[in-house]
């Protein structure tokens, strides 16, 4: 029954129409983290959004948008992939882990999104032409720091903070609500109520997004989000109702991770894991991490 539900969800998402949306990349919602896929591990996903815009006559219409991605891990240190956002077409993505996260130290990564020759690589259309944000959206470079506090402080919380160019930069007069005090700054806060679920609040550099993820099968996750939340609090006198970039959106997404496919490597017991259905293996890793932390504390006490 669960397998049938997963297949139905994938069919529903991939047959949607329109432009790109959050979760059209390997990300929290629409912002990256310092984590990468394992070597030869593959992740594929798609996001489907619903939003309302008005035409020139003032008539409101419901629009649909789709974004999909496929990414693969390389040597446990990097990953590459591609994104498809309909009218915007296909672009590339790349991420390299500079420093791996440990119990006490954060992970650091650098990457690039929207690797394409199309300057105005944007998800949504306006007046039957590619939506012109004004600032070039291609080759958006970023750096990000991520720390999971599950083992250090026994808090099921993961925090990311980063800085980027291009699509991460809020532009004055673009219709983005609020003012980012540091243009290009983005961040996210993830809370895990259980092994199978995550709740996320993020600022992607231009918009506020709130979402949740739930594991519906091994390696398969269903995601739901409210994107561009700040647009809900803007009146029509300020917000342009004909602009899809200023419309709050409800987003439904699915992603699945497969592998590692080749050259399976031993697991680093201090490495952050995404929760899976293998409770026995997770418990063994948890015990190893607790023992490692105890030894670190003993060494620190002996040095003092």
pLDDT given for residue 81 in this prediction: 96
Residue 12 has pLDDT above 80, yes or no: no
Distances from the Cα of 127 to the Cαs of 40, 122, 244, in angstroms?
Answer: 42, 14, 10
> How does pLDDT run across 75-88, given as a tens digit for each residue?
999 999 999 887 77
Which two tokens mark 46?
């798609």
Range from 60-69, 156-165, 264-273 carrying the lowest mean pLDDT = 264-273
- Separation of alpha carbons 98 and 83, rounded Å: 23
- Above 60 in pLDDT, residue 130? no
Asked if residue 271 has pLDDT above 90, the reply is no
Phi, psi of 73 (to 5 degrees): -85, 145
Among 51, 243, 14, which residue's Cα sits nearest to residue 129?
243
Span 84-110, pLDDT tens digits: 887 778 899 999 999 999 888 999 999
DSSP characters for 126-159?
A: ETTEE---SS--SSEEEEEEEEE-TTTSS--EEE
Alpha-carbon distance of 26 to 30, in angstroms, equals 8
- Among residues 119, 142, 47, the alpha carbon closest in space to that of 85 is found at 47
Average pLDDT, integer, range 13-30: 62
Burial group, residue 248, by CB count within 10 angstroms (0-12, 13-18, 19+) = middle
pLDDT of 15 above 60: no
Residue 33 scores a pLDDT above 90: yes
- The reported pLDDT for the residue numbered 132 is 57
pLDDT at 270 over 50: no
Question: Given this model, what pLDDT does residue 60 score?
Answer: 82
Regarding pTM above 0.85, the answer is no
Strands (E), the chain: 42-54, 60-74, 78-84, 90-99, 107-115, 125-126, 129-130, 140-148, 157-164, 185-194, 197-203, 208-217, 220-227, 249-258
CATH number at 2-261 = 2.40.160.40
- The answer, yes or no, to whether residue 4 has pLDDT greater than 60, is no
CB-based contact 212:197 (threshold 8 Å): yes
* pLDDT category of residue 224 using cuts at 50, 70 and 90: very high
User: What pLDDT is stored for residue 110 in this prediction?
Assistant: 97
Average pLDDT over residues 255-273: 66
Q: Among residues 146, 145, 143, 229, which one has the least CA distance to residue 184?
A: 143
């Amino acid at each position: 029954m669960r397998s049938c539900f997963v297949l139905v969800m994938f069919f529903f998402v991939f047959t949607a129409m329109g432009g790109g949306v959050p979760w059209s990349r390997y990300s929290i919602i629409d912002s990256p983290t310092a984590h990468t896929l394992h070597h030869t591990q593959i992740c594929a996903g798609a996001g489907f959004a619903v939003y309302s815009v008005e035409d020139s006559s003032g008539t409101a219409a419901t629009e649909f948008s789709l974004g999909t991605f496929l990414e693969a891990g390389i040597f446990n240190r990097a990953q590459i992939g591609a994104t498809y956002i309909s009218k915007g077409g296909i672009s590339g993505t790349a991420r390299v882990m500079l420093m791996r996260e440990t119990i006490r130290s954060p992970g650091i990564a650098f990457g690039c999104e929207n690797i394409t020759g199309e300057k105005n690589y944007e998800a949504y259309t306006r007046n039957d032409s590619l939506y012109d944000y004004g600032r070039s959206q291609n080759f958006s470079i970023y750096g990000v720091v991520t720390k999971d506090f599950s083992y250090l402080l026994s808090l099921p919380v993961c925090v990311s903070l980063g800085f980027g160019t291009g699509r991460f930069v809020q532009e004055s007069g673009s219709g983005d609500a609020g003012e980012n005090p540091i243009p290009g700054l983005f961040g996210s806060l993830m809370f895990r109520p259980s092994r199978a679920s995550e709740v996320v609040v993020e600022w992607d550099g231009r918009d506020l997004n709130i979402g949740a993820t739930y594991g519906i099968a091994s390696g398969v996750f269903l995601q739901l989000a409210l994107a561009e939340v700040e647009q809900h609090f803007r009146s029509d006198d300020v917000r342009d109702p004909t602009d899809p970039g200023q419309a709050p959106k409800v987003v439904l997404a699915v992603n699945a991770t497969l592998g590692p496919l080749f050259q399976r490597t031993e697991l680093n017991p201090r490495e952050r894991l995404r929760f899976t259905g293998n409770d026995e293996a997770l418990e063994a890793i948890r015990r190893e991490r607790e023992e490692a932390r105890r030894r670190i504390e003993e060494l620190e006490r002996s040095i003092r």
